[in-house]
Amino acid sequence: MMSPAAAPLLAELDSLSQRAEQLRQAAQWRLSTRDPVQASSGLHESYSPHRMHLHGDPAAFEMRLARQPLGSLELSCLSFGTEVELEQAWTTDFVLVTTQLCGHSQVRTRADEVQGAAGLIVVDSPEAPVTKRFSPDSWRLNLRIGRPAIERLFERLYERPLHGPMHFHPAIAQDSALHERWLALLRLVTSQLGTPSAPALLGPLEEMAMLLLLTEQPHNHAALEQAAPPLPAPRHVRRAEEFMRGHLGEALTLAAIAEASGTSIRSLTAGFRQFRQTTPMRWLHEQRLQAVRRHLQQARADESVSSIALHWGFGHLGRFAGDYLRRFGEAPSATLRRI
């Protein structure tokens, strides 16, 4: 007998399944294929590099993928028809929140393993490898949120810079208030399918999704939420940061940065130590490393590690490679190879 607590969840999932079927029939981008190679290519284009392993009946394999942008968000649904395992190397520019509509999923990251049936909600974090295994009847509804938007909101919310990507706990606890709120949000988002959605409505929905994750889902920067808000950085520090962001690839000196910010080297250095807990040149170095990583993740076929590093101001390639490895835990060539 179904428990009273399970009835609302099943009703919610049934409603979302109907919306997902609507999405599957009328999405802007759709792919239905029995060819695992074509399916893998479609997944790569839509999500991230991966390896696909068929563990079920190959004759039953049929990947059905549908994607629909809604403003800056994107809804998608995915099924395979047979038991499949995906080894996902990474995502770069988005957070993907997946709601299990039916069937079963098992998800393994480096630190955690979660599994569940209908109602399981999984969060994919940028630059976090993950392995997923799906039952033959597994069907999932995904909401994609841009990584830059969620990181900018974090910085505005907690008034401090964010260093490194956000890694969320891979599942939303099914007995939590967040689980109930997320399903309600998903109902609102899916209600925009087939309607001329106004940006005035989609913007608040995106912000609501990001706030739910940032304030209620455990993540690796949660400790910053408890810290007292930092004092506003003085104008010369902000001017220096703006100047350095606009000239990352150039051979900047501390004197040139201080001059552009309208202060002395001594005052600029003291300002960065007090308000950024670093020096101007270390801050510049971090921005260059981040720029190189973004560039490597989206590089053209004719671009190399050395050309990209030089473009962003790294003249000593051996030192750059070592700094990159220490910062991101992999060689720059490994980042480039995953494209």
pTM: 0.70
**Euclidean distance between CA atoms 104 and 101, whole angstroms:** 9
Neighbours of 280 (CB within 10 A): 24
What is the average per-residue pLDDT within 38-67? 94
Let me know how long the chain is.
Answer: 339
Within-domain flag for 206: yes
Q: Are both 164 and 262 inside the same structural domain?
A: no
Q: What is the CATH number of the domain that holds 82?
A: 2.60.120.10
Q: Are both 200 and 295 inside the same structural domain?
A: no
Retrieve residue 204's tokens.
Answer: 């608040």
Q: What domain range is 314 assigned to?
A: 235-337
What is the average per-residue pLDDT within 36-40? 95
Contact assessment for residue 178 and residue 217, using Cβ atoms and an 8 Å cutoff: yes
Task: Let me know if 40 is exposed, middle or buried by CB neighbors in 10 A (0-12, 13-18, 19+).
Answer: middle
pLDDT for 1: 40
Task: Let me know if 4 is exposed, middle or buried by CB neighbors in 10 A (0-12, 13-18, 19+).
Answer: exposed
Within-domain flag for 1: no
Query: Among 167, 192, 225, which residue terminates a domain?
Result: 225
Q: Are both 215 and 241 inside the same structural domain?
A: no
Neighbours of 128 (CB within 10 A): 20
User: How many CA within 13 A on the CB side of residue 39?
Assistant: 22
Within-domain flag for 193: yes
**Coil, helix or strand for 269?**
helix
pLDDT value at 199 more than 70:
no
* Percentage of the chain lying above the pLDDT 70 cut: 92
Q: Are both 178 and 270 inside the same structural domain?
A: no
Query: Among 161, 195, 225, which residue terminates a domain?
Result: 225
The pLDDT-based confidence of 89 (bands split at 50, 70, 90) is confident
pLDDT value at 196 more than 90:
no
Q: Are both 34 and 116 inside the same structural domain?
A: yes
State the DSSP string of 15-50: HHHHHHHHHHHH-SEEEEES-HHHHHHHHHHHT--E
What's the total number of domains in the chain? 2
pLDDT value at 2 more than 50:
no
pLDDT for 25: 92
The helix or strand, by DSSP H or E, that contains position 191, with its residue range, turns out to be none
**Euclidean distance between CA atoms 129 and 124, whole angstroms:** 9
Tell me the pLDDT tens digit for each residue of 114-147.
Answer: 999 999 999 998 877 889 999 999 999 999 998 8
**Euclidean distance between CA atoms 103 and 82, whole angstroms:** 11
Neighbours of 173 (CB within 10 A): 14
Residue 79 β-bridge partners:
64, 139
The label of the residue with tokens 């060689």 reads: 331
The pLDDT-based confidence of 78 (bands split at 50, 70, 90) is very high
Q: What is the CATH number of the domain that holds 304?
A: 1.10.10.60
The set of residues, in sequence order, having a beta carbon less than 8 Å from that of 105 and lying 6+ positions away, is: 98, 115, 116, 120, 122, 132, 133, 134, 135, 138, 140
Three-state secondary structure of 94-157: EEEEEEEEECCEEEECCCCEEEECCCCEEEECCCCCEEEEECCCCEEEEEEEEHHHHHHHHHHH
Query: Among 157, 192, 225, which residue terminates a domain?
Result: 225
Q: Are both 174 and 91 inside the same structural domain?
A: yes
Q: Are both 100 and 218 inside the same structural domain?
A: yes
**Coil, helix or strand for 81?**
coil
Q: Are both 265 and 169 inside the same structural domain?
A: no
pLDDT value at 88 more than 90:
no
Within-domain flag for 324: yes
| Least confident segment among 84-93, 168-177, 248-257, 307-316 | 84-93
Retrieve residue 313's tokens.
Answer: 């101001």
Q: Are both 139 and 286 inside the same structural domain?
A: no
pLDDT value at 339 more than 60:
no
Q: Are both 330 and 306 inside the same structural domain?
A: yes
